[in-house]
Structure 1
């Protein structure tokens, strides 16, 4: 009976040691500290959101610029299908710009 109890306790201690090592590895204490200071958590989330928004805006600008450059190069090739599609796209954009002039 005593042997079983000792073995059970040693397994429990081993499990607790593994759990402790895991929680230290994932930096659980810093996470708990962060949750206990809501203003710091809010500030970090605000700063992260600002930089995410800037990254999305700049990334979209770069990608849109590259698409425009590619379309300009395709227009110079004067391909019939793509040229018609680009002409339709230009008409749609012009229509939107003219419609917005009267709404201001």
Structure 2
């Protein structure tokens, strides 16, 4: 009976060891202990997020502008802007 318990314990310990390896805690502690690598990884991650947000915002703005152009008569708005520019130019 002790032999069965010992084997069951060994199996559970092996499963725990495999699960711990999958979490990659060793790699995480290596990154935390190396400030240069941590800064580099965060810098690259920040650049990637910033670039992604810029591209996403550009696409979103283009879609919004397209739909606004379809819904609103923009030449009418352009006429008001031209008149406003004329008024500003006359006051100079």
Segments of 5+ residues of structure 2 without an aligned counterpart are: 78-92
Tell me, in whole angstroms, the C-alpha distance in 1 between the residues paired with 2:11 and 2:29. 24
- Specify which structure has the bigger relative contact order, considering alpha-carbon pairs within 8 angstroms and separated by 6 or more residues: 1
Q: Give per-residue Cα distances to partners, 1:68-99, cap 9 Å, x unaligned.
A: 111101125xxxxxxxxxx8xxxxxxxxxxxx
Identify the residue that residue 82 of structure 2 maps to in structure 1. none
Tell me, in whole angstroms, the C-alpha distance in 1 between the residues paired with 2:3 and 2:39. 48
Identify the residue that residue 63 of structure 2 maps to in structure 1. 66
Tell me, in whole angstroms, the C-alpha distance in 1 between the residues paired with 2:4 and 2:29. 33
1:33 aligned to 2:30? Answer: yes
1:48 aligned to 2:34? Answer: no
Tell me, in whole angstroms, the C-alpha distance in 2 between the residues paired with 1:6 and 1:36. 42
Structure 2-normalised TM-score?
A: 0.65
**1:1-104 alignment runs, 5 A limit:** 3=1, 5-76=2-73
* C-alpha RMSD of the superposition: 2.2
The Cα shift of 1:16 comes to 1.1
Tell me, in whole angstroms, the C-alpha distance in 1 between the residues paired with 2:36 and 2:3. 47
Segments of 5+ residues of structure 1 without an aligned counterpart are: 77-86, 88-104
